[in-house]
Structure 1
């Protein structure tokens, strides 16, 4: 690349991260702040929040060539075929303009039957985009949603400057692996990113795989993050981890909402219940992975619960939806900016015949697109609770 300009990756070039950790090589974006990470002792959540779902570099430049050097951390599973490399997607002036991967990096090898994980250190690699227009343009590089990514260097053939503020509202979203992007095709087509693009908003995605468990430190992170509109997609992880009974769930939801409202008392706030998941509709958790088809690259989930356990307060998705609806109805009498959406409006009974959940738990790439389209229409549309004419938009936090 002639006349190479190396620009340090700094926080002002990043969108969608709540914290940036400085490393020996560069920076590591985080989706939970340092204080929340210090209160967490779950390796699953530590991995999930460090995977930059929804995080992107955003800058303006005349560059015709853009290179990003990174050190990704990839995952491999004993007995399973290799996983696809994480995808970096280029967006120029709001339009898709290319994609690529970094094949190098650290590798964590997980033995799910033994419950062990071994890490092997690797070398950095570079993703390159060329043939771009020499006009001044807005450039975004969306980082892999499912691969922890240390950012080392941004190299271009023209100077860069941080992206301008376009005045778009900030949408702060929290959810499970479905919101994180499990089985999506790439970082711009996870359903929240797809909905954000259609809705014309800036996404901050706190979809945390396996970790939407009403943790108080997550509520405080949401409380303290700037936002114009907020959505909380709750329930599936509480069921499939079997972490609480109905007696604890209701007060935990109230407490979570109370904390968020401390920082955002008037922001439009939408509580979204789980999408349809047949194995958990009437049957409680816990659920566990079924390894019997791992050698063919297929992982499925099975529930170990018994429908009769509902009588003792164990949670199913039907119970979760009823309780979330009840809580929102109760609170909205004093909180007119609090709303509820049944997740089955995004993916419901009729969808399962056409687009069944491949592993019984997570939607595939086509379903992510469908969910994003429906969320944008129902929530960001003219009649939606996040429609521009209804938003308070004070960016509290």
Structure 2
């Protein structure tokens, strides 16, 4: 339940000890901006899509202990508008109390980012901050998490409560560092705490750091070095779909790039369980190369879809498809695991495969819906965090 009554006189500085899941907090003149790539990595990036994705706080949440029953978070979101596409819903903020999702809210105001996918242009119009309010929280001391919108860049302006707050000491839970594409980022999930990695982390009892980057799982060396340098007890990388739908490289470049990516991670995590996940099923790109292109034919129905614009005949020249990627990732992991017993492989089709397509088709041909995110999260928890899984206690 939300209220406009001002019952939140205590203002708490937004510091690192209250924020989980971000690798860096940038203090700006308009609030604190969580980043999921460090500044040195951002300085090496020239891709506007990746810059937008890493500033969207997937998996980032405020975590504090308090007796407060009213909480207000003033934020400055960045709303996205795609030219020619249906309007996007505002990003959701999930309120989790003692591990249970109890409320959700949106923030008004904010900047507006207009994106023309056909022309490849971006334009930002500044706007005012808004306030997310949660009231009637349970009485007594409790641990509160506010999960920030996974798909909407969010500057944190002020945290106000009706009682003081304190940081929550880090538990003994293992940190799970995950890297992947927009599916891992959370595209089309219902809310930030219900993306498939967030659900899997909750079920697996892990502390999530989500480096799922929409459109940005491209084997960039600065991403590998970020994974190398980030403390973690468990690591997974989900590779493939972005390389295909961006039509970024051919098989000759893909193989050494994967080896180099894994080599770099191992420099910082030589014995950490490392799980390579092949792509989930995506019918348009199983045997057809990229690039992916927007299909505006369904916009009149309120839907934007994507199509594969490549030619299947180009596979002979080394163009990547999802089946090509799966086959080569399997070969690479089998080769490397002979000397690396902590390296593991998961076929992404075990998370979403042929049997799921008829029941839960990809609405835009690329991204799973909310029900599929839940299914994938539950399956990953069972396969990876189960007793015999690579992240399980019996592994």
TM over 0.5: yes
- Contact 1:9 1:26 (C-alpha < 8 Å) held by counterparts: no
> Residues 69, 302 of structure 1: CA spacing in aligned structure 2 closer, same or farther, 3 A cutoff?
same
Q: Please point out which of 113, 118, 131 is paired with 1:126.
A: 131
1:369 aligns with 2:374: yes
- Give how far 1:295 is off: 3.8
- Once the two structures are superposed, what CA deviation does each residue of 1:4-42 show, in whole Å capped at 9, x if it has no partner? 100011111000001110111321000000010000000
Corresponding residue for residue 322 of structure 2: 317
Map 1:1-397 to 2 at 5 A: 1-2=6-7, 4-390=9-395
Structure 1: tracts of 5 or more residues without a match: 391-397
What SS does structure 2 have at the residue aligned with 1:192? helix
Structure 2: tracts of 5 or more residues without a match: 1-5
- Contact 2:388 2:394 (C-alpha < 8 Å) held by counterparts: no
- Contact 2:86 2:304 (C-alpha < 8 Å) held by counterparts: no
- Give how far 1:97 is off: 1.2
Runs of 4+ displaced beyond 6 Å: none
Q: TM-score, normalised by structure 1?
A: 0.97
Computed over aligned residues only, the root mean square deviation of the Cα atoms, in angstroms, reads 1.0
What SS does structure 1 have at the residue aligned with 2:65? strand
- Give how far 1:174 is off: 0.1
- Contact 2:8 2:71 (C-alpha < 8 Å) held by counterparts: no
- Contact 1:236 1:317 (C-alpha < 8 Å) held by counterparts: yes
What SS does structure 1 have at the residue aligned with 2:362? coil
How many residue pairs align between the two structures?
A: 390
- Once the two structures are superposed, what CA deviation does each residue of 1:279-324 show, in whole Å capped at 9, x if it has no partner? 1111111111112222432111111111111111111111100100
CA distance in 2, matches of 1:51, 1:3: 27
CA distance in 2, matches of 1:344, 1:335: 24
Judge which range, 206-215 or 110-119, deviates more: 110-119
- Give how far 1:368 is off: 0.3
CA distance in 2, matches of 1:295, 1:138: 45
> Residues 81, 287 of structure 1: CA spacing in aligned structure 2 closer, same or farther, 3 A cutoff?
closer
Corresponding residue for residue 395 of structure 1: none
- Contact 2:8 2:160 (C-alpha < 8 Å) held by counterparts: no
- Give how far 1:3 is off: 6.3
- Give how far 1:86 is off: 0.3
What SS does structure 1 have at the residue aligned with 2:358? helix
CA distance in 2, matches of 1:104, 1:26: 14
Judge which range, 116-125 or 135-144, deviates more: 116-125
CA distance in 2, matches of 1:144, 1:57: 12
Q: TM-score, normalised by structure 2?
A: 0.97
CA distance in 1, matches of 2:156, 2:7: 22
- Contact 2:8 2:70 (C-alpha < 8 Å) held by counterparts: no
